[in-house]
Amino acid sequence: MAYIFHQDELPKLKSVVPGRERVFFVNKELAGMDDMLAGIMRYKKGAASPYHLHENCEHFYFIIEGTGTVETPDGVREVKAGDLIFIPAADQHRLRATQALFYFEFQAPNRFQTVILDGTDDDLKWERVDGRIWVQS
């Protein structure tokens, strides 16, 4: 069976902390499985994720448009359209938009715990356009 979704038909999530939006194409709600989490993200200029890590989850960002930085314990590196950033499980990181960013994100498995190292619990809260709240675990 194939699942075909168009981004305009899926719920948009807006971060409680302004400047970030996401649309999931694959998650437990849409595909009935938790082996992966995938979707698109948009960051306004200056928006950033908290400095954090994901226990038991590897993921990557593929930058489609814009520029930003990725911060890890090794330092801060610039990223741009066409760059693929791989984050191994439990590695500390933060993504920041130096210009508006549009990217694809993939995480596996979708059975992970996010640990915020610099930020607040609100950094993991997302409001659905339909009014429901989705909290990233």
Domain limits for position 41 = 11-135
The model's confidence at residue 126, banded by pLDDT at 50, 70 and 90, is confident
Instruction: List the beta strands (DSSP E) in the chain.
Output: 12-15, 20-26, 37-43, 51-55, 58-65, 67-72, 75-80, 84-87, 94-97, 101-108, 113-118, 125-128, 133-135
CATH number at residue 104: 2.60.120.10
Q: Do the domain assignments include residue 70?
A: yes
- Does the residue 6 lie in any domain? no
Identify whether 77 is part of a domain: yes
CA distance 39 to 24: 4
11 DSSP 8-state letter: P
In the DSSP assignment, the letter for residue 32 is: S
Is 4 within a domain? no
Q: How much is the pLDDT for 2?
A: 75
pLDDT in the model for residue 133: 52
In a domain, 39, yes or no: yes
**pLDDT band for position 93 (cuts 50, 70, 90):** very high
Number of domains, the chain:
1
Q: What is the pTM of this model?
A: 0.88
Is 114 within a domain?
Answer: yes
- Three-class secondary structure of residue 31 per DSSP: helix
Q: Quick check: 13 pLDDT over 90?
A: no
- pLDDT single digits (tens) 46-70: 999 999 999 999 999 999 999 999 9
